[in-house]
Structure 1
């Protein structure tokens, strides 16, 4: 079915260069389909949880019709990186054998600058709604995590979303709290149509769609130290978190609206 999300799997063939502005040392790499990707490593700081947040955040954005580069599973062979001269990068590559996550590299894209580019109220509201829903702390003036590519706005980097999973205690409680950090969102001043977008997006994000996105998380990413839950049980926690949050969207929408009023 066309509405069931699927990710391709590529094999990484060449490490090109690290992107050192990212705290987790993502890299530009080439794969066996001859495309370049921004590669996110499971062996980096927050491990597979950052990949899960990237996957869920990106695919929720795509389901809502927002522009996100293609996400793929990226396989690293055990021999990959042995000849890498940088010891830190070699350690990262060795710790990331197996399945990682990558985004299609938008060659020639430039960072979004809110001073240069104005985003219309509808799209600003859509992006603010998305980030409040997935609790994305990382779309601020300091770090917009948006690119301009072929004169269009693209969303990247959702790895700092879903921060409840770093503790994984009381996910139901976390799902119904306001997202106070929305006050720092770079597009909040333009987001005047949040109530309208809330109605549209709640209709688009069905339970089946949310569960299909969560089902994309590989078992390999769900074996956490100190966690006794099975991969299926962990996926169910993510699904319930997102469904509960969606059913209580008025909480984070009202928070965003109040934060916007305080700004303007």
Structure 2
């Protein structure tokens, strides 16, 4: 897999991939994920999905963007926890715009942005739109996606077999992320610290400055109990296959 990572390539090796490969840009964040998961969950998951895709189609993986847009209290715990490092929206948009422009200037025609942080998507979309909005040709083409929009509805009862699904915002550091981390990097999961903490009644609005009492002291928004590596495997295989389906529709892919 190391041969698929841009950071491990010489410039000649990198340049040789432009015509026949797709480029995947993983984008995550650095934010608290409760007492049982590391700060880099979103970046780790987006990079590991990129690697899973690259095992099936010709793809190279750009260096992961490990900082993201501001964590909101009811979808990530907010700025009240040490270790959460946020970017302003204009900063993230400019960063992604500059990176994408460099890749397009290098000749890449097929680019996938793989997002692992719930709050990032609007700013990733803004960057791609600003770069290509006046383009008349079909290519270069940039696709933006994430893992949570690509889980088959048929799989959901197997993942939420013991507790109710309460929406993706509440899944921060909960069953899906914990299960995927158990599958991807079990050595980084402190299973003995998984809690039943959560928000009893999630607000339907945002408050500025954020409430210091809305989020449990653990930083968890919903229970992580019933998470398993097997659930993580099911999610990863399902999401990877669904992403490859739309990549085949949009790009001329070469399978490995």
* TM more than 0.5: no
**Which has the higher relative contact order, 1 or 2, with Cα contacts under 8 A spaced 6 or more apart?**
2
Q: Which has the higher helix share?
A: 2
Question: TM-score, length-normalised on structure 2?
Answer: 0.33
More strand by share: 1
Structure 1 length as normaliser, TM-score? 0.33
